[in-house]
Amino acid sequence: MNRIDLDGRVAIVTGGAQGIGRAVAERFAASGATVAIWDVDGALAARTAAEIGQGATGQAVDVTDASAVQAATEALERAHGRIDILVTSAGIAGPNHKTWEYPLEDWARVMRLNVDGTLHCCRAVVPGMIARNYGRIVLVASIAGKEGNPNASAYSASKAAVIALTKSLGKELADRDIAVNCITPAAARTRIFDQMSEEHIGYMLAKIPRGRFLQPQEVAAMVAFLASAENSFTTAGVFDLSGGRATY
């Protein structure tokens, strides 16, 4: 593993108790960052932080609750004096249905977490980053947001929204030393698969030219660079981890 220099940085990783978020948190801690893991499952977040060690902390934060996100942000800034990095890995896939049959309550639930939750985190951390003229934000989107998976319209639409949010926020902050980028990974075999049908999982695998699912550690490697001071020019960008699937 190449060591990206994150010495002294303070990072938030949402959804960091497991899967891609955990891999990112582990990589950040190994690179010298102080990592705050936010997850709706506070007990799992605390356990993950204890296993990672190196000063990592874990707490229950429901990113769909804007006031809870704001309170957690303010507490972290009081404790460490700043927040340098935000990675938004919290998200759900939602069930698989045809668009015209998609249950409205499930649609709203996917949008509330994947889109509103991402916005809440950005709104909370950006003012401090502006005040200090430094920040690195990495939003976790999906290849589905670029290509639109059948029977996954809510997830696809939510991740397309995350891509657009990245571009808007990145351009708004481009005159400062704040980089906002997103990643569009193909499917990784994490617990998010529990929400999907086997048919849909097979469809996703068939679309990946490399013929395998993405490894969370591969995501963490790209995110570590995007979260570093070395990523000083690129902003409002979309970085593929699609195993050759992406067509644009």
Catalytic residues: 155
Name the token pair of 165: 């949010």
Q: What is the dihedral of CA 61, 36, 135, 222, to 10 degrees?
A: -100
Name the token pair of 13: 């990783």
Name the token pair of 72: 């957690």
Round to whole Å and give the CA distance between 113 and 125. 17
Q: Quickly list DSSP for 206-233.
A: HT-TTSSPBPHHHHHHHHHHHTSTT--S
Q: Which helix (H) or strand (E) holds 74?
A: helix 66-80
Q: How many CA atoms lie within 13 Å of 246's alpha carbon, on the beta-carbon side?
A: 16
Round to whole Å and give the CA distance between 8 and 28. 11
Task: Count Cβ atoms within 10 A of the Cβ of residue 48 and give its class: 0-12 exposed, 13-18 middle, 19 or more buried.
Answer: buried
Instruction: Say if CB 36 and CB 57 are below 8 A apart.
Output: yes
Q: Cβ neighbours of residue 8 under 8 Å, at least 6 residues apart?
A: 32, 33, 34
